[in-house]
Chain A
C-alpha cells in the first residue's frame, strides 16, 4: 500500500458518523446543538460506542451529575466496556456505571467519598484500574495516551450557539474539552441555564458538540470551607510554630496550603500572631489556593496580594467580585478558576507547600491511604514535590537549597519547602507516625505496582507536630533523618523509641526546634488568637460579602 492510500482522518470520519447518528436519533428535537433533557439517553446511545474512552467530569467540587445519572441508566447490553476517566470519582453513579457493567476500566486521580466502595468493586473484579494519578499527570495523559473519544462535562450556562460560561468553577473543563475537541471527539455539556448573552465565553461553541439543560443545577461540594469554631488550641500552637519557625525563617511569599484545619489555623492567625511578629508584607503574599473563607481576615488585613484558584468555593462569589485585585476575575467581574494552570502554578511558581497527612514513616514518606479504601491523590503531590524542572531563583528556594547542600560538592540549586503538619495522634489515639505505611498492605490487596505514597520522603523538608519542627534539610545521614522524625513523633511508639541523646544533639544543632526553642509563649496558644472564631466572624470580616452555604450557618 502506498502512502497515498493510507487513510489519515479516521477519527474525523468517526466523529461525523457519530454526529449523523445523533442527528437521526434526535430529529427535530435537536435545535442546533441544543437538545432537551428528556432525550439524553437517545443522544448517548447514538454517540457512544462500546469500548470508548469516556471522560466524565467529576472534579473535587463541580460534578456533571445529570450526565453521570444518564450514563449509569444506560442498558449495558447496548453500551459496555467503556474506559472511564475521572479527575474525581465522587458520586455513587460514578461507580454504578461499573457495577452495572457499562464500563470496565478506570483511570482516575481521586475518589474521596467513594474510596471504600471503589476498593470493594476492584477486589470483586468489577473494574480494572489502569492507574491512580495526580491531577496534572491525568490531564497530561489526556493529550498523550488517554485521549477521550467522548467527554461529558458541566458548565454554568450556554448560549444558543453552544458557547459556554463555566464561571468561578471552571476547574477541569478546559483541559478535558481541549483534549477531546481537538482529537476528533464528542463533547456533551450539561448546563444550568441557557441564555441569550453569556457573561463571558469560557469555551467557544465550535469545541462543543451538544448542550443539554439539566433539570437541576449541577452539584458543587463546598470542600474548602472550614468552620473556625472547630479549630483546637493544639492547632493554634502548631500554627504559631509554622509561622515563626518556617514562614518567617524562610520569608515564604509564594505558597499553597492544604485544606485541613491545621492550615486554616495558620490562615486565621496571620492577622493576629503574624502581625505581632511584623510579618505583614514579608510572608504569604502570593497564593495558589482556592478561595478559602478562612483566608478572608488575612486578605482584609493586607497580607495577601494575589490568589490564583484551582476551583471556586460556594458563597465566596460576591466577596471575590468585590476584590478583583486579589483574585483572577474576567471582564464580567466573576472569577475564572483553572485546575490545570493552578496546579502548574503550585508546582513551579510556589516556594512552599504545607499540608496535613494521615501517616508518616521513618523515611518521611507520607500517605493518606488506609486499608480498604482506594482514595487516590488529587493535587497534593504536585504541590508537595520539589519541582525538578524549576530554574528561577527566589530567596526562600535558595535558602532551602543551601541548607540541603551545605558541605556537599554539588552545583548550587534551590529546593522547594514541603512541610507536613500532623498531630502525633489522630482521633481515637491512632498514631500518625508508623514504622510501615498502610499503603504497603493496600498495594498488595489492590495489586498496585507501587505503594500509593502521597508525598515522598525525599521531597519532605519539614515535619511539624505539636512537639516541634524537624528540619530534614539539615540532616546529614539517614540515621539523623530517622531520629529527627522520631524526635517530633511525641508519645507514639515511633516517638518513644527515639535515641534521646541523639535527639538532644539534633536539638542543639537546630535540626529539631521545640516551641520554647522558637521563643513561643504557649499561653498565647488559645482560640483567642484566631482572627475569626466562627462562621459568623468570617461573614463579618468580609463586610457581609461572604455568604456561607446553609449547612455552615449555625446562627
Chain B
C-alpha cells in the first residue's frame, strides 16, 4: 500500500454540491470519491494505491487531469487496485463532467 498526496492551488472551476462516488474496488479498477470542500480555491487529491512505485505516473496523470479541469475547492480521494492510467483518467473525467455541469 502506498499513499500519495497532490494539491493544486488557484483552481477556477467549482463543482456541484453533491459528492460523487464512482468505480469499484476490484482488481484493475479503482474507486473515486469527489466532494466539494472549502480549500481556499485549491484541489486536493489523495491516492491510496495497492501498486507501489508508480508515483511519477500518478503525478503526471493527476497533473494532466488538473490541467483539463482546473477544479477549485474540491477534494478527491482515490482507492486504487492497480487501475491503468487509461481507466483512472476516464473515471475522473466521467465523474467530473457531470459535477461541473450540475452547477
- A residues with a Cβ closer than 8 A to B are 232-234, 237, 423-425, 427, 429, 465-467, 490-491, 496, 521-523, 525-526
Which residues of B approach A to under 8 Å, CB–CB?
A: 28, 51, 54, 57, 60-61, 82, 84-87, 89-90, 93-94, 97-98
* A525 touching B90, Cβ below 8 Å: yes
Check if B94 sits within 8 Å of A466, measured CB to CB: no
Report the separation of the CA atoms of residues A273 and B82 in the bound assembly, to the nearest whole angstrom. Answer: 29
Whether A490 touches B94, Cβ cut-off 8 Å, given contacts A429-B51, A429-B54, is no
- Cβ contact within 8 Å between B94 and A423: no
Residue pair B97, A232 in contact (C-beta under 8 Å)? no
The residues of B that contact A237 with a CB separation of less than 8 Å are 90
In the complex the two chains form, is B97's CB within 8 Å of A491's CB? no
Q: Evaluate contact between B94 and A525: CB separation under 8 angstroms.
A: yes
- Which of B54, B89, B90, B98 counts the most A-chain CB atoms under 10 A from its CB? B90
Given A425-B84, A425-B85, A523-B98, verify A491-B60 contact (CB < 8 Å).
yes
Contact of A423 among B51, B84, B97 (CB under 8 A): B84
Q: CB-nearest residue of chain A relative to B101? A: A523
**Chain A residue contacts of B54, Cβ below 8 A:** 429
Q: A491 and B90 in contact (CB under 8 A), knowing A429-B84, A523-B98?
A: no
Query: What is the CA–CA distance of A68 and B1 in the complex, to the nearest angstrom?
Result: 51
- By a CB distance below 8 angstroms, the chain B residues around A427 are 28
Task: Name 5 interchain pairs, CB-CB below 8 A, sorted by A.
Answer: A234-B87, A424-B85, A491-B60, A496-B60, A522-B97
Q: How far is the CA of A237 from the CA of B60 in the complex (A)?
A: 21
Interchain residue pairs A-B with the least CB separation, the first 3 = A466-B86, A491-B85, A425-B84
Would B94 and A424 count as touching, CB distance under 8 A?
no
Question: Distance (Å) between the CB of A194 and the closest chain B CB?
Answer: 50
User: A386 → chain B, closest Cβ, in Å?
Assistant: 29
Q: Are B90 and A466 in contact (CB-based, < 8 A)?
A: yes
Task: Report the minimum CB–CB distance from B103 to chain A (whole Å).
Answer: 16
A50 to chain B, nearest CB (A): 52
Docked complex Cα distance between A474 and B60 (Å): 28
User: CA A234 – CA B98 in complex, angstroms?
Assistant: 18
Min distance, Cβ B42 to any Cβ of chain A, angstroms: 24
CB–CB A523/B97 < 8 A? yes
Given A429-B51, A491-B57, verify A522-B84 contact (CB < 8 Å).
no
CB distance from B98 to the nearest CB of A (A): 7
Could you say which residues of chain A place their CB within 8 Å of the CB of B51?
Answer: 429
B-chain residues with CB within 8 Å of residue A232 when the two chains form the complex: 87
What A residues does B97 contact at CB under 8 A?
521-523
- A490 to B57 CA separation, bound complex (whole angstroms): 10
Residues in A neighbouring B60, C-beta threshold 8 A: 491, 496
Q: Nearest Cβ in chain A — how far from B58, in angstroms?
A: 9
Task: Kindly report which residue of chain A lies nearest to residue B57, judged by CB atoms.
Answer: A491
A429-B51, A429-B54, A491-B61 as given contacts; A522 in contact with B93, CB under 8 Å: yes
CA distance A465 to B89 in the complex (A): 13
A425/B94 contact (C-beta < 8 A), A491-B60, A491-B61 known: no
CB distance A425 to B90 under 8 Å?
Answer: no
Q: Which residue of A lies closest to B97 (CB)?
A: A523
Taken together as a complex, chains A and B put the C-alpha atoms of A470 and B28 apart, in Å, by: 26
Q: A234-B90, A429-B82 are in contact. List 7 more A-B contacts (CB 8 A).
A: A233-B90, A429-B51, A429-B54, A429-B84, A467-B86, A522-B94, A523-B98
Q: Is the CB of B94 within 8 A of A234?
A: no
CB proximity of A527 to chain B, nearest CB, Å: 12
B86 proximity list for chain A (CB < 8 A): 234, 423-425, 465-467, 490
**What chain A residues lie within 8 Å of B94 (beta carbons)?**
522-523, 525-526
Closest A residue, CB atoms, query B28: A427
Which chain A residue has the least Cβ–Cβ distance from B88? A491
Contact residues in B for A234 (Cβ distance below 8 Å): 84, 86-87, 90
Bound: A515/B97 CA distance, A: 14
B57 to chain A, nearest CB (A): 5
Assuming A491-B57, A491-B61, is B90 touching A522 (CB within 8 A)? yes
A407–B4 CA distance with the chains assembled, in angstroms: 50
Chain B's closest residue to A465 (CB) is: B86
Chain A residue nearest to B95 in the complex (CB): A523
Instruction: Report Cα–Cα, A101/B90, bound state, in Å.
Output: 54
